[in-house]
Chains A and B, each alone.
Chain A
Amino acid sequence: MAAIATLKDLYETLSPGLPGAGAAGLDRLRADGYARFLADGIPTPKVEGWKYTNLRDLAGVSLAPAQGTVDTAANTDFDVPSVAPGETHRLVFVDGAFNAALSAVGPLPQGVTLDSLRDLIEASPAYAAEVLDRFPAPKADTGLRVGPNPGRGQSGGLVGLNGAFLAEGAVLTVGEGVKLAQPVEIVFIATAADGAWHPRLLIDVAAGAEVTVAEHHVARGGGATFANIVSGVRVGEGAILRHAKFQEEAETALHLASVTATVAASATYETFVLTTGGRLARTDVQVRLEGSGASTRVSGAYGVDGSRHADFTSLIDHVAANCTSREVVKGVIDGRGRAVFQGKIIVRPDAQKTDGHQLNRALLLSDTAEIDAKPELEIYADDVKCSHGATAGELDEEALFYLRARGIPADTARALLIAAFLDEVAEEIGDKRLRGYAMARIQERIGRLTGITVDTDATVLGE
């Protein structure tokens, strides 16, 4: 495979120049990543978890970290997205590279750190390696029934690729009991015509702490870029992490992300993913509920049209007893767009009193729109409550006529119903700021899809 030969050159050329090169910990992490990439390669549809998402497009894409095309120090002219402008701590990355000028981290409470990974490595490679090692890599093992070769396939190659070029990213640690009032934002802005970035995002929330994190991926003139993001999340005992990702890149971009989260006893991990950009976008979320009483909410909304492709893949692993999980993923598919939903819930033998719920709904706006949905429940405990549902359908004709019979033009009626369909997912978001932003972005996207601006502001009566 030509891409790998090129990558070998790239790896050999670039790695000596990466921050912390020569430091044992980082060299090891990068070598491991590179080895994993060589072993697993880019996933192909032959791999179970990638049956419906074909990465053949990657063959023509440069995997090399993008070289900044803008003077990142001087250029602060970007419209930087924010869930609460001026009221967040933010790290901004332009074409994958940390941009200090655009970033703004206010005074942080004792026990909280928020750093660019590059800064952290440059300050202390040993400490950076130690932090990186805290986070388990995503596992290929997506169930107890996995065959004789559980280490292979899945997303290993992509995670390996990310590791081989480990340099950029963000590290957030919230110390025990600290409740951070202001959201933390991690913003990726694409300006380049092409090029790849492989950021690592690490969020470590200690026992009893609470934090809200918004992750943005947007294009400001960016083109066929390739983002390959690997995130590690740890939520300590009784802690709460509310995490939302807004993926709104250019329609020519490739976006592949895997998130691995571990949730301790009585802790809560909420994650929401909005996918409206990219010609191909996949988010792979793995949540392990490791302590009794842990809970997670995984939700996603997507919109694809043209011949674009969105994939939401999740694994919720109930390891401990008394845990709850709730997953709601909904999307709108138009044109020849295609969406994939793969959602697996595992309930391990010790995970008694599990309460797991999963719902996946797709709205198909054209005859050529397509959804592949694969819900899976793997249950090994006997005292559990688990349910899943999947539907795919068109807009409700009855509802459409009802709206039109009240004078609402057909296209506005359609836009209203689409917004309503997606707003229901946004309702899953616990944090008000994240929820409001999600709804606004959904409405903006529907506006571009239908040409209609709908105002679904239900707060007209005042709360």
Chain B
Amino acid sequence: MLEIKNLHATIDGKEILKGINLTINPGEVHAIMGPNGSGKSTLSYVLSGRDGYEVTEGSVTFQGKDLLAMEAEERAAEGVFLAFQYPVEIPGVSNTTFLKTALNAVRKHKGLPELDAMQFLKLIRAKAKALNMNDDMIKRAVNVGFSGGEKKRNDILQMAMLEPGFAILDETDSGLDIDALKLVADGVNSLRSPERSMLVITHYQRLLSYIVPDHVHVLAYGKIVRSGGKELALELEAKGYAEFGSPEAA
């Protein structure tokens, strides 16, 4: 489904990703763990198409297509979803306007008919209910005045609506207390399916107790330095990242 080969990327001339190789098959959940500054967020932004990052070497193929050649919105329409570490507040744009515009743009891209207001409403209400979000939350301006947990749930609601083939969860646990984390993790788990792959990016093992990965990778100083099963996360929790060296060694 997703194939990353020898990916190098720089920001402002500084190389952050130094040759990432990663293959994710349909239905698999991979976790990337790593110390701060290892390039985790850069990887998520490079995959989702944010401006400001330059890919200097390597390739990313998504469902057989060259992902790096696409604009951010094309990637989203093709089925790549980024759940943000810090979901953005957008005053003046209601959640419903935002999601209806997004969903219909994606449907249009896929050659599906656009949903009218009533169809959309029915869908969003059902999806929101599953995430314990009320009408008020979906009517309000995007993320404005939302708590940390509400923002993350809102991102997961977007994922549930857009039904991506591949989702990147960037530090989804940051800023969440344990109850909020459980709620978000339940939302994510309910979206796991044999057709949907996920890349869970996290600093801590905690999240992986709730969203259990098939594979765990350690990213340090721009490279994947170790890969293993879910037990690797527990090992990292116990030993820390110290053994993965310093930037000089990488």
Residues A423 and B117 in contact, CB atoms below 8 Å apart: no
Distance in angstroms between the alpha carbons of A43 and B50 in the assembled complex: 50
Residues A398 and B105 in contact, CB atoms below 8 Å apart: no
Residues A421 and B138 in contact, CB atoms below 8 Å apart: no
**Is B29's beta carbon under 8 Å from chain A?**
no
Residues A416 and B97 in contact, CB atoms below 8 Å apart: yes
Instruction: List chain A residues, Cβ under 8 A from B91.
Output: 420, 424
Distance in angstroms between the alpha carbons of A455 and B139 in the assembled complex: 14
**Is A362's beta carbon under 8 Å from chain B?**
no
CB distance from A162 to the nearest CB of B (A): 37
Instruction: List chain B residues, Cβ under 8 A from A397.
Output: 51
**Is A457's beta carbon under 8 Å from chain B?**
yes
Q: Determine, out of A125-133, A207-215, A300-308, A404-412, the stretch whose residues face the partner at the interface.
A: A404-412
Residues B101 and A399 in contact, CB atoms below 8 Å apart: no
CB distance from A417 to the nearest CB of B (A): 7
**Is B146's beta carbon under 8 Å from chain A?**
no
Residues A460 and B90 in contact, CB atoms below 8 Å apart: no
Residues A420 and B90 in contact, CB atoms below 8 Å apart: yes
Given A412-B101, A455-B97, A461-B135, are A404 and B71 also a contact pair (CB < 8 Å)? Answer: yes
Instruction: List chain A residues, Cβ under 8 A from B105.
Output: 407-409, 412
Distance in angstroms between the alpha carbons of A417 and B98 in the assembled complex: 10
Which single residue of chain A is at the shortest CB-CB distance from B96?
A: A460
Residues A461 and B139 in contact, CB atoms below 8 Å apart: yes
Instruction: List chain B residues, Cβ under 8 A from A457.
Output: 97
Distance in angstroms between the alpha carbons of A328 and B17 in the assembled complex: 46
Instruction: Give A385-425 interface residues, CB cut-off 8 Å to B.
Output: 396-399, 401-410, 412-413, 416-417, 419-421, 423-424
Distance in angstroms between the alpha carbons of A403 and B100 in the assembled complex: 12
Residues A406 and B76 in contact, CB atoms below 8 Å apart: yes
Interface residues on A, range: 20 to 34
Residues B162 and A406 in contact, CB atoms below 8 Å apart: yes
Residues B117 and A460 in contact, CB atoms below 8 Å apart: yes
Q: Which of B49, B50, B100, B102 contacts A460 (CB 8 A)?
A: B100
A397, A419, A457, A458 — most chain B CB neighbours (10 Å):
A458
Given A412-B101, A456-B97, are A402 and B121 also a contact pair (CB < 8 Å)? Answer: no
Distance in angstroms between the alpha carbons of A399 and B142 in the assembled complex: 10
Contact with A along B107-132 (1 / 0, CB 8 A): 00100000001001100000000000
Residues A461 and B90 in contact, CB atoms below 8 Å apart: no
Distance in angstroms between the alpha carbons of A403 and B72 in the assembled complex: 9
Instruction: List chain B residues, Cβ under 8 A from A417.
Output: 90, 92-93
Distance in angstroms between the alpha carbons of A187 and B103 in the assembled complex: 40
Residues A406 and B96 in contact, CB atoms below 8 Å apart: no
Residues A461 and B72 in contact, CB atoms below 8 Å apart: no
Q: Determine, out of B81-89, B203-211, B223-231, B242-250, the stretch whose residues face the partner at the interface.
A: B81-89
Which single residue of chain A is at the shortest CB-CB distance from B120?
A: A460
Instruction: List chain B residues, Cβ under 8 A from A424.
Output: 91-92
Residues B139 and A402 in contact, CB atoms below 8 Å apart: no
Interface residues on B, range: 35 or more
Given A407-B73, A419-B92, are A458 and B97 also a contact pair (CB < 8 Å)? Answer: yes
CB distance from B229 to the nearest CB of A (A): 30
Residues A401 and B72 in contact, CB atoms below 8 Å apart: yes
**Is B202's beta carbon under 8 Å from chain A?**
no
Which secondary structure dominates where chain B touches chain A?
helix
Q: Which of B50, B94, B142, B162 contacts A407 (CB 8 A)?
A: B162
Distance in angstroms between the alpha carbons of A417 and B96 in the assembled complex: 14
CB distance from A426 to the nearest CB of B (A): 10
Q: Which of A401, A420, A460 contacts B93 (CB 8 A)?
A: A420
Which single residue of chain A is at the shortest CB-CB distance from B48?
A: A405
**Is B158's beta carbon under 8 Å from chain A?**
yes
Instruction: List chain B residues, Cβ under 8 A from A404.
Output: 49, 71-73, 76
Given A416-B101, A420-B93, A424-B91, are A405 and B120 also a contact pair (CB < 8 Å)? Answer: no
Which single residue of chain A is at the shortest CB-CB distance from B116?
A: A460
Instruction: List chain A residues, Cβ under 8 A from B142.
Output: 402
Instruction: Give B38-68 interface residues, CB cut-off 8 Å to A.
Output: 48-51
CB distance from B217 to the nearest CB of A (A): 23
Residues B121 and A460 in contact, CB atoms below 8 Å apart: yes
Contact with B along A163-174 (1 / 0, CB 8 A): 000000000000
Contact with B along A431-463 (1 / 0, CB 8 A): 000000000000000000000001111101100
Instruction: List chain B residues, Cβ under 8 A from A406.
Output: 76, 98-99, 102, 106, 158, 162
CB distance from B114 to the nearest CB of A (A): 11
A398, A406, A407, A417 — most chain B CB neighbours (10 Å):
A407
Distance in angstroms between the alpha carbons of A461 and B125 in the assembled complex: 9
6 new A-B contacts, CB < 8 A, other than A454-B101, A455-B97, are A396-B90, A406-B102, A407-B77, A408-B73, A408-B105, A417-B92
Chain B residues within CB distance 8 Å of chain A: 48-51, 71-73, 76-77, 81-82, 84, 87-94, 96-103, 105-106, 109, 117, 120-121, 135, 138-139, 141-142, 158, 162
Some 23 contacts from A to B, beta carbons below 8 A apart, are: A398-B88, A403-B102, A404-B76, A405-B72, A405-B73, A405-B82, A406-B102, A406-B106, A406-B158, A407-B103, A410-B71, A410-B73, A416-B93, A420-B90, A420-B91, A420-B92, A424-B91, A455-B97, A455-B100, A456-B92, A458-B96, A460-B96, A460-B117
- The 3 A-B pairs at the shortest CB distance, nearest first, are namely A420-B92, A407-B76, A406-B102
